[in-house]
Amino acid sequence: MKFTLSWLRDHLDTTATLDEICAKLNTIGLEVEGLEDPGAVLAPFRTARIVEAVQHPNADRLRVCRVDAGPGFEAVQVVCGAPNARTGLAVIFAPPGTWIPGLEITIKAGAIRGETSGGMLCSLRELGLGEAHDGIAELPADTVPGQSYADFAGLNDPVIEIAVTPNRGDALAVRGIARDLAAAGVGHLRPWLAETVEGTFDSPIGWANLFPEACPWVLGRTIRGLRNGPSPEWLQNRLRAVGLRPISALVDITNFFAYDLGRPLHVFDADRVTGDLLTVCRGAGEAFQALDGREIVVSPEDCVIADVAGVQSLAGIMGGEATGVTADTTSVFVECALFDPVRIALSGRRHSLHSDARHRFERGVDQALPVAALEAASRMIIELCGGEASEVVSAGEAPAWQREARLRFARVAGLGGVDVPADEAVTALEALGFAVRQRDADEVLLDVPSWRNDIAMPMVLDQAPGLDPARARKAEDGARAVDAECDLIEEILRLRGLDSIPPVSLPALSAVPLPALAPRQVRAATARRVLASRGLMETVGYSFVAQAAAARFGEVPEALRLLNPIAADLDQMRPTPMVNLLSAVERNAARGYPDLGLFEVGPGFSADGQTQVATALYSGHTPRLPGRTAEPVSLWDAKADAFAVLAALGAPIEGVQVTADAPGHYHPGRSGVIRQGPRIVLGYFGQMHPALLAGRGLDRPVVGFELFLDAIAEPKRRRRAAPDLSPFQPVHRDFAFVVARDVAADAVLRAARGAERTLISGVRLFDVYEGDKVPEGHKSLGVEIVLQPVERSLTDAEIEAVSDRIVAAVSRACGAVLRG
């Protein structure tokens, strides 16, 4: 919100300086974001008069001027190259040492072609005030030398810009800001009363309201016999100062009241309105040309204003070009209405339309102001454009905005932390427009002013089936009362100054600081650390991807489709980070880097919700190293890294099983599902399906894994004893079991591990063979068994006995025989 200091003083009677006003705005929560003071930049420039101008003796295009610049500069010689420099001309003079903003230089006294020059005669462009550069600026003939040019030209009006929070719609008006400052002790709020304009005829245009949910009350009147043209200089200057372009008197008046009172208005060219009725109604798919030149197609959710010819305005947001005022307008219909903030916000967002009117309506406007605002606007239109006004016509009725708020004085110190005397608290609230209805020693009941829509507003409570409506209303009233009291305390502390609230440290919950990270965050950080330590490079991708890309990795529910994506090809929530990793692999391969390993720990989305996924993808070959050739990446690389992450996260590796039912984006015969029991899926690993890679420029192996971190149970927090390391050497024995092809290797490993739990410390599969050396339909599994004696070294007989028990257990469980 921007406003000038002089504009503020129209509503605020104060002697405070600019710095004092800005400081107070900051302390009462209206943070100053910017301050432009053109008068400070132009302070050194003075009005002056050329007493004499003669030809420079050594230059055809230069003139030597004797300048009267007022006290202290009565006889200054200036060399000037402007073609219009002449005797008697009133000019703008810059003494030596002045910063010239248009040229970005500091001028100095010196000599030009042998003639001394003690300053500069300036054009408006050199002052940064325009583009005219035909010569130096010519001031009126009666200009008195020695004045500050900023004062002379009315350019000493600073522009203040403040940040306005979404709940403070009243602060989007200069009068609202002045009211806050006056309540905080910076001057007094000037009285404002709109002078009634008597109607001299019946309005030829009336209202019909078919959409009261969106527009509870609308007023208007016709003003005829006027002449539209440029607005006066004071009005144009104010609009330019706040960043608005003056258009015409009628449009500028509506813009003025949007900033002055926070009251958006709209004027229709009455002669361009078809029929004698303007109707507030729902849209029905019609298209109309907005004032910004865009074609808008309205929907039934939009509130519009239409005449017989069709839609003429997207109500509360932007008018239409067909009924907009022009230089030829001689009769207007002025609209002043109240609109539902939520519907305004949704319509503006739906059509990507931003306007000052929308900005104010969606934050809430003064619900008691429409009549007075219409009268004030009518008065200004008649004063600036002439004409006569009709009687006011309306549809709907003024909303019941009246509400009350209760404040318990003890709560100011209890909730706000500052002990404010009761009289001071009540006085502060009265200065903001609250009216005392009832007061006693402990509390006060106040009427809330119409412009404070953020205080004691009704709440919407979801009612569960069977909930008594009376109980629901009682709960709503109680919640509203608590919120209203908090709002009042905020206002009291705000006017005292937010900097007056003493800082208080939060109480320590325990002598030992609590963990700063949640278990879910710890899991993600651990997974990242493990994968990075194993040589993979981390990536971070968008959580939304192209729908076609997501479909290659499973279902794409319509519920996860984005209605308003940031890009056309980012319209679906990703089912897995694997979508992003595969795209990254494709881009790297296209640029000549096919051999890489990438990982991401991030969310994946499904119809059941969101889950945290640690995903990795490998492509190409392993690095070529001395003594080691490059080999294609394999599913065993992916499995090893996946199990390393599981181990680091405390998953019970010994109880994990691998089944061959991975999703469709994995190779059906070269992939697995990591399970903890029959129901809990911890992740997938394997080679990517050839169909997924076809036509994507990936002619090398691509493998990967996905781990669902949320499915990993939290390890039990128990104190672990130091490991009991055996002093005896372990014994390694290899077995080759021949089993049927459909027997899972995990079954063989589990059977071997259970044969002798006191001695067996490790079981590992190291080879799988299928060929002519084993019977048809069978395979050979190479298993390494580690025996760890604890009490003494094992004898050969004891080792043979354990081996026999292992072979028997595997044979009994899996039908295996030792390979000869």
What is residue 539's DSSP assignment?
-
Rounded distance, CA 415 to CA 490, Å? 10
Rounded distance, CA 244 to CA 559, Å? 42
Q: At residue 604, what are phi and psi to the nearest 5 degrees?
A: -125, 150
C-alpha distance from residue 776 to each of 344, 681, 771, 812 (Å): 75, 33, 8, 21
In this structure, are strands 596-606 and 537-538 parallel, antiparallel, or unpaired? parallel
Rounded distance, CA 94 to CA 112, Å? 17
Q: For the purposes of burial, counting CB atoms within 10 Å of the CB of 664, is it exposed (0-12), middle (13-18) or buried (19 or more)?
A: exposed
Q: For the purposes of burial, counting CB atoms within 10 Å of the CB of 162, is it exposed (0-12), middle (13-18) or buried (19 or more)?
A: buried
Rounded distance, CA 586 to CA 698, Å? 7
15 C-beta neighbours (distance < 10 Å), count: 8
In this structure, are strands 393-396 and 388-389 parallel, antiparallel, or unpaired? unpaired
Query: Are the C-beta atoms of 685 and 697 separated by less than 8 Å?
Result: no
Annotated binding site for Mg(2+): 454, 487, 490-491
Q: At residue 166, what are phi and psi to the nearest 5 degrees?
A: -60, -25
Query: Are the C-beta atoms of 76 and 117 separated by less than 8 Å?
Result: no
Rounded distance, CA 309 to CA 232, Å? 34
Query: What residue type is 163 in one-letter code?
Result: A
Annotated binding site: 454, 487, 490-491
For residue 251 the two structure tokens come to: 């449009």
- The residues, any chain, with a CB within 8 Å of residue 211's CB and separated by 6 or more, are 280, 281, 282, 303
For residue 376 the two structure tokens come to: 């004030």
C-alpha distance from residue 294 to each of 307, 314, 321, 565, 568 (Å): 20, 12, 10, 22, 21
Give the CA count within 13 Å in the CB-facing half-sphere of 237. 16
State which H helix or E strand residue 411 sits in.
helix 410-416
Query: Are the C-beta atoms of 640 and 531 separated by less than 8 Å?
Result: no
What is residue 69's DSSP assignment?
-
Of 481, 490, 405, residue with least CA distance to 449 = 405
For residue 72 the two structure tokens come to: 């202290």
C-alpha distance from residue 254 to each of 115, 211, 239, 356, 373 (Å): 55, 24, 11, 11, 10
For residue 139 the two structure tokens come to: 């001031």
- The residues, any chain, with a CB within 8 Å of residue 184's CB and separated by 6 or more, are 24, 27, 28, 495, 497
